[in-house]
């Protein structure tokens, strides 16, 4: 699981930061999932090492322009390239209506199917590897945050041990790999747990923007390996944050602390903190780290590989 930030500015793009979009690359299944799609996102993808042909799912947090203005252009480009088989799009009410209007008035006819899913709090997608859920955040309009959970899987299978015990390969190996108990034709019984290393714990990501500090964000981020949270304002501009229902750097850090996440990466920064101003982004980072030390600051094209942990590591961490 690899995260790439395609846009980290709030409201408007700057010379160095585009507006909101984050890509989740799943190399094990050659898929790309996108979270928000601000104007210019397709250009950012072209400038990255991501493959637009792998795009299969798009998750939209809310209907403000800096999170959706790039969506129709991206979908149209995908159609002209003739790459995707299908793209599923998840988002708040009216997203489907917005896309239909864009297609109608621009006379765009997509050459591949799209399915728009209007989300509600709870699980919205699940397969054999992942569960994606969403929850309400607190913003000026309806907004959702997303939580991506990778399912646990058995540890590495010790094939040499199985061979040494003269266990026949094939279907039996598959059962043992899944941790099941098997009985051979000669009557011997084996427990798959005895042939597998420590369980590989599924990784968890939370994506929370746009929102002021709220319990919904804490719930989505609970025990996450990575929390991506907006930090539009500095702490001294908290009054602005409350007026506009955005977060400060310290609010993002408080969510990370309360949810006991492993790493916080802040994004969605106001252009008012450009270099040379009284307050700069490095000041926001310092503010957050006083509350939650394991905090980093996103920038466009930052890529982060989320490490996998084993059951033994998890037990040690909780001890």
Secondary structure string (H, E, C) spanning 70-119: CHHHHHHHHHHHCCCCCEEEEECCCHHHHHHHHHHHHCCCCCCCEEEEEC
Does domain 2-153+199-318 fall under CATH 3.60.15.10? My reply is yes
Statement: residue 155 has pLDDT above 90: no
pLDDT(314) > 60 = no
Residue 74 has pLDDT above 90, yes or no: yes
Q: Which of 111, 119, 116 is nearest to 71 (CA)?
A: 116
CA distance 172 to 118: 43
Q: For residue 125, give the H/E element and its range.
A: strand 122-126
pLDDT for 196: 86
The arithmetic mean of pLDDT across residues 102-125, rounded, is: 94
How far, in Å, CA of 166 to CA of 289, rounded?
Answer: 55
Mean pLDDT of the 232-241 span: 97
Report the predicted TM-score, pTM, of the whole model to 2 decimal places.
0.88
In contact, 246 and 10? CB cutoff 8 Å: yes
- Over pLDDT 70: what percentage of the chain? 96
Instruction: Read off the pLDDT band of 111 (50, 70, 90).
Output: confident
Q: Which two tokens stand for residue 103?
A: 């297609």
Domain ranges of the chain: 2-153+199-318, 159-195
Is 90 exceeded by the pLDDT of residue 84?
no
pLDDT, tens only, 189-230: 999 888 888 888 999 999 999 999 999 999 999 999 999 999
Convert the pLDDT of each residue in 269-311 to its tens digit: 999 998 888 999 999 999 999 999 999 999 999 999 999 876 5
* Mean pLDDT value of segment 3-21: 97
pLDDT in tens, 115-128: 999 999 999 999 99
Buried b (16+ CB within 10 A) or exposed e, 195-206: bbeebbbbbbbb
- What is the per-residue pLDDT for 317? 46
| pLDDT of res. 312 | 44
Q: Cβ(203)–Cβ(26) under 8 Å?
A: no
- Active-site residues, by number, are 66
């Amino acid at each position: 699981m690899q995260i790439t930030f395609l846009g980290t500015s709030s409201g408007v793009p700057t010379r160095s930061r585009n507006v909101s979009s984050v890509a989740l690359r799943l190399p094990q299944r050659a898929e790309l999932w996108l979270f928000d799609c601000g104007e210019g996102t397709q250009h950012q993808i072209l400038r990255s090492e991501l493959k637009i042909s792998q795009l299969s799912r798009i998750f939209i947090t809310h209907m403000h322009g800096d999170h959706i203005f790039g969506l129709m252009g991206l979908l149209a480009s995908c159609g002209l390239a003739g790459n995707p088989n299908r793209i599923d799009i998840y988002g708040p009410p009216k997203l489907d209506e917005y896309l239909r209007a864009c297609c109608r008035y621009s006379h765009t006819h997509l050459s591949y199917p799209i399915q728009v899913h209007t989300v509600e709090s709870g699980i919205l997608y699940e397969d054999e590897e992942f569960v994606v859920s969403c929850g309400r955040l607190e913003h000026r309009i309806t907004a959702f945050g997303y939580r991506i959970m990778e399912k646990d899987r058995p540890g590495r299978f010790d094939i040499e041990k199985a061979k040494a015990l003269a266990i026949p390969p094939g279907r039996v190996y598959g059962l043992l790999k899944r941790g099941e108990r098997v009985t051979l034709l000669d009557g011997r019984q084996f427990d798959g747990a005895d042939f597998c290393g420590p369980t590989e714990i599924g990784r968890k990501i939370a994506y929370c923007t746009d929102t002021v500090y709220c319990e919904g964000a804490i719930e989505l981020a609970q025990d996450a390996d990575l929390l991506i949270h907006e930090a539009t304002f500095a702490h001294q501009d908290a009054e602005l944050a409350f007026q506009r229902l955005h977060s400060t750097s310290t609010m993002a850090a408080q969510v990370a602390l309360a949810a006991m996440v492993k790493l916080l990466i802040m994004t969605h920064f106001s252009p008012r903190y450009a270099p040379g101003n009284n307050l700069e982004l490095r000041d926001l980072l310092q503010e957050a780290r006083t509350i939650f030390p394991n905090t980093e600051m996103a920038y466009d094209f930052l890529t982060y590989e989320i490490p996998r942990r084993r059951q033994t590591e998890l037990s040690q961490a909780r001890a």
